[in-house]
Amino acid sequence: MLQSRQLTFSYSPTKRFSFPDIRCNDREAVLILGKSGSGKTTLLHLLALLLQPESGSVTIDQTDLTQLSVSQTAAFRAGHVGIIYQKPHFVSSLSVMDNLLMANYLAKKPQDKNRARELATHLGFADHLHKRTNQMSQGEQQRVSIARAVMNKPGVILADEPTSSLDDVNCARVVALLREQSEQIGASLVVVTHDQRLKDEFSNQVIL
């Protein structure tokens, strides 16, 4: 479960944000819509405590992240939060398999090759596990990103514009995979986007 309360953040005295509260229960999904520059990525980074809010709180599975030290936050995030970034970034010198196992490593968990293979089969890239990520298409990379985000069965999945560079077929596929994976592991799913195609896919919506 994820809950934010009265989050505010400033990049500068003239660039100040005051965000609506976000609540997303286990197995639920919330879509945060807003036009370019409305602060969607900023909010997502605050929810993951990649940015420190000026005020307000973020609670994930009963832990108030704003009360943790920087290192405690990093450890908590690695184990409990799966993030799908706008542009997937991988370690380009490693194989797809090793990029997936990196999620285990960062969370200080045993490397789970079986789960990586299972996810790769389910998400349709089992034949690419030995490849480098830059040898895959954008749609394939996005699916690897989803797999990496759910490797540790996190309580919360945060996705930043997961579909903006995808065609309609891959867009629908990625949304279905995100929902299915989050339901399977009982996670809260938060998607931020300006992609109007997603509007009808989520009943819980917040507009920035």
Ligand X SMILES: Nc1ncnc2c1ncn2[C@@H]1O[C@H](COP(=O)(O)OP(=O)(O)OP(=O)(O)O)[C@@H](O)[C@H]1O
Please report, as residue ranges, which positions from 42 to 71 form the binding site for ligand X (by CB under 6 A): 42
39 forms part of the interface with ligand X (CB under 6 A): yes
38 forms part of the interface with ligand X (CB under 6 A): yes
**Residue 187 and residue 195: Cα distance in Å, rounded?**
22
**Residue 1 and residue 186: Cα distance in Å, rounded?**
9
Q: How far is the CB of 18 from ligand X (least distance, A)?
A: 13
197 forms part of the interface with ligand X (CB under 6 A): no
Q: How far is the CB of 159 from ligand X (least distance, A)?
A: 12
203 forms part of the interface with ligand X (CB under 6 A): no
Q: How far is the CB of 6 from ligand X (least distance, A)?
A: 18
11 forms part of the interface with ligand X (CB under 6 A): yes
Q: Does an H or E element contain 57, and which? A: strand 55-60
- Member of 14, 36, 114, 196 binding ligand X (CB under 6 A): 36
Q: Are strands 63-64 and 29-33 parallel, antiparallel or unpaired?
A: unpaired
Residue 41 class from Cβ within 10 Å (0-12 exposed, 13-18 middle, 19+ buried)?
A: middle
User: Helices marked H in the chain — which ranges?
Assistant: 40-47, 70-80, 96-106, 113-122, 138-150, 168-185
Positions touching ligand X (CB under 6 A) are: 11, 15, 34, 36-42, 194
